[in-house]
Structure 1
Amino acid sequence: MTATVIPSAPASAARPAHRDGNVLRWLGAYTSSMIGDNVYYIALSWAAVQSGTPTQAGLVMTVSAVPRALLMLGGGVVADRFGPRRVVIGSDVVRCAAVLAVAAVLFAAGPGLWLLTLVSIVFGTVDAVFMPAVGALPARVTSRDQLARVQGMRGLAIRFANVVGAPLGGLGVALGGAAAAFGLAGMLIAISVPLLISVRMRELPAHDVDDAHDVDGVDVADDGVGGAGAAEGHARVAADRVAGAHARVAADRAVEDERHVRVAVGEDGAGAVAGKAAGAPAWRDLRDGLRYIRRHRVLAPLIAAIALGDLGFVGPLNVGLTLLADRRGWGASGMGWVLAGFGTGAGVAALLLTMRGRLPHAGRLAAVTILGGSVAIGALAFVPNVAAAIGVALLVGLLAGLSGALCGALLQTQADPAYLGRVSAVAGIVSLGLAPLSMPLTAAAIGWWGTGPVFVTSAAVCGLGGVLALCVRDLRRAELPR
C-alpha cells in the first residue's frame, strides 16, 4: 500500500484543521472506528451475559486488558517503525475481520465463552498496536500549529461515539441479538478503512534548532541572573548543545535523503525508514524511546502529571460515583444525570479547544485545571442533592476535559514526531494500565471508610499532578505552537 506524502506547509499558510478536508477524512475514520468499538463492547457484554455467569462475563470483558497492557510499549515501536497510518489501517482491518467472523459464527450457532474470550484477546492485542499509532497519526495529517485543535476535535469524536455507540449497540441487540450487533460493529469499523486510505500524509518536520532547546527538548535558558560563573557555565553548555544540534541536523538530512527514496516506493514513516535502514533491533528502538522520554524536560514530568491525575480521577468517577449514588439514594437515573453533566462539561472543553485552536500558557493552564478539577472531585462527595452533584460534575468535566486536552496537545507538540508512537504508548499504559487499578481499591476503601475520605484522598492524588506541573519550570512554561 503506497502512502501519499505531501510537503509540510508553513504554519501561516495552513488551513484550520476543522476546515481541512484531509483532517476531516481522518476524523471521520476515527469517529466511525470509535462508534464501532462502542457497539462491539455492547455486543460482547450482552453475549457474555447470555453465555455464562456474571463473573464469567466480567472476565470476558476484562481479559483484553492483559495483552493491551503487556504489549503496548512494543506497539509504540511498531507504530514508529512502520508508520502510524499503515498500522492503523492494518489494525482496523484485523478488528473488522475478527468481529465479522464472530457475527457469522453467532448467526450459525449459539454464543460460546471460548469464542468471546478469543475475540476479546484479539481486540486487546490489536489495541496494543492501534492506540499508539492513533496517538502518532495527527502529526502526519496536519501542521504542528493545528495539533491542539485536532486534539479538541478528537475529544469531540470520542464524546459523540460514546453517546451514539451505546444506543446503536442496544438497537442491534434488540433487532437481531448479539450477532446483529457484532455485524454492525464490524461494518462501522470497516467504514474507517477507505477513509484512512484516502488520507494524505505530511512529511515529518525537520528538527528545529534554536538557542533555547537542545535535541532532547532540554531548556538551556536560565530563570534569572546566577552570577558570572553560572552565566559562563550556561554559555558553554549552550554552545556545546547548539554544536551537537548542528551535528544532529546533518545526520537528519542524510536520513531525510534516504526517506525520500523510500517514499518513492511507498514507505510510510520516517521513523520506520531510519530504523530499517540502520537495521536496528526493535528492543533498541524501545530503549531509545524510553531514554528520549526520560531525558525530555517537558515530556517526562508531563507523563508523570498525567499518571497522577488519572490515578486520582478514574476511581471516583467510575466505581466511586456508582457507590455514592447508591448511598445517597439518587438511583440509576440520578447517577445517569450526573454522568451526563460530566460528559457535557468535557464536550464543552473539547469544543473550546477545537474552535480556539490554541490556548495561551498551556503548561500553566493545564496545571491550574488539574488542581481545580481535583478540588471539584473532592467536593462531589459532599454535595447535598442530585442537582448540586450535576453542577459539580459539569465543572469536573469542564476542568478535566481542558486539562486532558491540553496535556494531550502538549504531548503531540513537544514530542519529536519520529518518537510519537512510543510516547503515546507510554502515556497509554499510564491511562489504560495503571489508572484502572485504582477502581477495585476505590471500591474497597469506600467500604471501609466511606465516600468522603476516599474522594478527598483521590482528589489529593489528582492534585499532585497539578502541583508537579507547576513546580517543574519547563512544563510550567510550555506553550502550544502558534
Structure 2
Amino acid sequence: MSGLRGDRLVLGWIGLQGLSAAGDAVWTVALAWTAVQVASPAVAGLVVAAGTLPRAVVLLVGGILADRLQTRWVMLLVNAVRVVVLVVTAVLVAVHGASVPLLALAAAGFGICDAIYIPSAATIGRQLVPPETLPEYAGASQTANRLGGMAGAALGGAVVATWGIGGSAVANAVTFGVVVGYLALALRPRYPLPRAESEPAIRGIARGFAHLRDVPATRTLVLTLSGLNLAVSPALSLGLALHVREADWGAHTLGLLNATVGLSAALGALALFRWRPRHEATTGFWFLVLQGGAIAVLAAGPLVTTALACAVIGATSGAASALLSAVFVGTVDGAYLGRMASIQMLGDDVLMPLGMVVFGLFASGAGVAWACAGFGLAMALLMLVPLSRPAIRAISLRPEEELVGSRP
C-alpha cells in the first residue's frame, strides 16, 4: 500500500466508507425483514425496491450536481439528509409502528439520496490521490466496502431482532453522522476538478450525452462498464443458487461458495497494493475475459469445479473492478466525470433487471449450465471490444517518465 501508507486523511476516509457500508447493510436487512412482517411477499418486494425508480429518475440530475457543485459539500449535505430520514423513520416507528407507507417512503428517500450522492462520491478519489495511486485507492475502497457490507449483513439480523427497525435506523444514522463529521472537519480535496458551467438541467444532461458521443475512449468505457454486471450478477445470484439446488449440495454450500467469491474479490483488490500493471485498462479487461470463462463453467461440473470458478470470478472481479474504476475516474474529463458516472450507473440499473429475466428464461428453457455458459461466453466476447480499441490499450495512469524508464 505504498501510495497510501501514512496518508491518514485518505485512510480515514476509506475506513469510514467501510463503516457506512456496514450501517447500510444493517438497514437493508432491517427493511427487508420488517417489510415481510407487515406485508405480503409481493408488497414487501415493492417496498424493498421502492427506492429504485426515484433513484433512476434523479440519477442524471445527480451527475449534473456532481460536476457543478463542490463535491465535499454535496456529500456532506446528502449524508445529513440521510440522518434526518433515518431519525424521522425511527421516531415514527416508535410512535405509530412500522407500516408499508412509512417503509416505502423511507426507501424512496434513500433512493433519491443515493442518486445525488453516488455521482459525487465517484469523483472524490481523483480529488484525494494522484492518478498513479488511483488503483490502490479503488482497491482499498472496494475492499473496505465489501468487508463493511459483510459485517453489517451479519449483524443486521441481530440488530433488527433485538431493537427492531427503529434501532437499525438509529445505528445507520450514527454511521452517517460520523461520515458527516469527517466531511465537515477533516476531508479536504487536494486536486480539485474543473467545475461545469451553470446551465439548465436538461441542457447539462444533453451536454453530457454529447460528450459521451464525441469522446470515443470515454464512450467505450461507459458502455462497457454499463454492461459489466449483466453476466456475473445473474450467474452468481440466480445461477449459483439453481446449480446448488439441482446438485442437492445444501444451503450451507451456497453460503460457502458466496463467501469464496467475496474473499477472493477482496484478495484480488488487495493484490494491487503489491503489483501494478503498466496498462491498467488492458489488464482489467483481460481479467474480465477470464471471468467470462469462469462464469461459463460455473454450473458445468462437480463441486470442486464450481468452487474454483467462484474463486476465479471473485479474484478477477476484485482486481478488474479496482483497475477499471481507477481508469474511469482517472481519464474521463473532470468537468464531465459526475455525468459520465451517472450515465454508467443508470445503464447498469436499467439493464440489470432485464439481464436477470433473460437469464431466468434461459435457465428454465435450456438449463442452468447452458445459461451460465451462454452468459459467460457473451461477457468474454463483449470484453474483447474495448481490447480491440488502440485508445483503450494505450491508457496508463503511471507518470510518463516511469513508463519510459520501464521500457527495455
TM-score, scaled relative to structure 2: 0.93
The alpha-carbon distance between structure 1 residues 196 and 354, as it changes in their structure 2 partners (threshold 3 A), is farther
Indicate conservation of the 8 Å contact 1:68/1:127, yes or no.
yes
- Alignment match of 2:317 (pick from 400, 409, 431): 400
Match status 1:322 vs 2:244: no
Structure 1 Cα separation of the partners of residues 355 and 144 of structure 2: 26
Q: Among residues 32, 37, 40, which one is paired with 1:45 in the alignment? A: 32
Counterpart-to-counterpart distance in 1, 2:204 and 2:231? 32
Q: Does 1:414 align with 2:402?
A: no
Please name the residue that 2:227 is paired with. 308
SS at match of 1:201: coil
2:94 matched residue in structure 1:
107
- Unmatched runs of 5 consecutive residues or more in structure 1: 1-14, 206-269
Q: Which residue number corresponds to residue 386 of structure 2? A: 469
Give the Cα–Cα distance (whole angstroms) in 1 for the partners of residues 225 and 376 of structure 2: 14
Over 3 Å counting, the alpha-carbon distance change for 1:285 and 1:17 in structure 2 is farther
| Amino acid aligned to 2:329 | Q
Supply the distance in 1 between the matched residues of 2:229 and 2:161 (Cα, whole angstroms): 35
Q: C-alpha distance in 2, partners of 1:330/1:58?
A: 28
1:18 deviates by 4.0
Supply the RMSD in Å over aligned alpha carbons: 1.7
Summarize deviations over 1:444-480 as a string: whole Å, max 9, x none.
3212221011111111221133111211111122212
1:433: Cα distance to partner?
2.9
Residue 223 of structure 2 aligns with an amino acid whose one-letter code is A
Cα deviation, residue 56, structure 1:
1.0
Are residues 1:181 and 2:168 paired? yes
Kindly report which structure 2 residues correspond to 1:29-44, keeping only aligned pairs within 5 A, or say none: 29-44=16-31
Deviation at 1:153, TM superposition (A): 1.1
Structure 2 partner of 1:290: 209
Name the larger-Rg structure. Answer: 1
1:376-391 → structure 2 map (5 Å cutoff): 376-385=294-303, 387-391=304-308
Q: Which one of 153, 177, 188 corresponds to residue 200 of structure 1?
A: 188
Query: Offset at 1:73?
Result: 1.2
Matched, 1:371 2:293: no
How far residue 440 of structure 1 moved from its aligned partner, in angstroms, is 2.6
TM-fit CA distance, 1:355: 4.2
Instruction: Extract unaligned runs of 5+ from structure 2.
Output: 400-408
**What do residues 70-120 of structure 1 show as CA deviations (whole Å, max 9, x unaligned)?**
221111001111122111111111111111211122222321000000011
Q: Distance in 1 between matches of 2:357 and 2:95?
A: 38
Q: Which runs of 4+ in 1 moved over 3 A?
A: none
Q: How far apart are the structure 2 equivalents of 1:363 and 1:154? A: 19
Superposition map of 1:203-352 within 5 A: 203-204=191-192, 270-271=194-195, 274-276=196-198, 280-352=199-271
Q: Residues 11-62 of structure 1: CA distance to partner in whole angstroms, max 9, x if unpaired?
A: xxxx822431121232133222222211110110111011111111111111
Report the count of equivalent residues. Answer: 397
Shift of 1:121: 0.7
Asked whether the equivalents of residues 27 and 165 of structure 2 are also in contact (C-alpha less than 8 Å), the reply is: no
Partners in 1 of 2:57 and 2:393 — Cα distance? 32
Q: Which moved further from structure 2: 335-344 or 173-182?
A: 173-182
Kept in 1, the 8 Å contact 2:222–2:340? The answer is: no
2:348 corresponds to which of 417, 421, 431? 431
- Name the CA distance, whole Å, in 2 between partners of 1:432 and 1:344: 25
User: Which of 105, 116, 124 pairs up with 1:129?
Assistant: 116
Per-residue CA deviation, residues 339-391 of structure 1 (Å, 9 max, x unaligned), is 111111110111112444x3222222122111100000011111212x43222
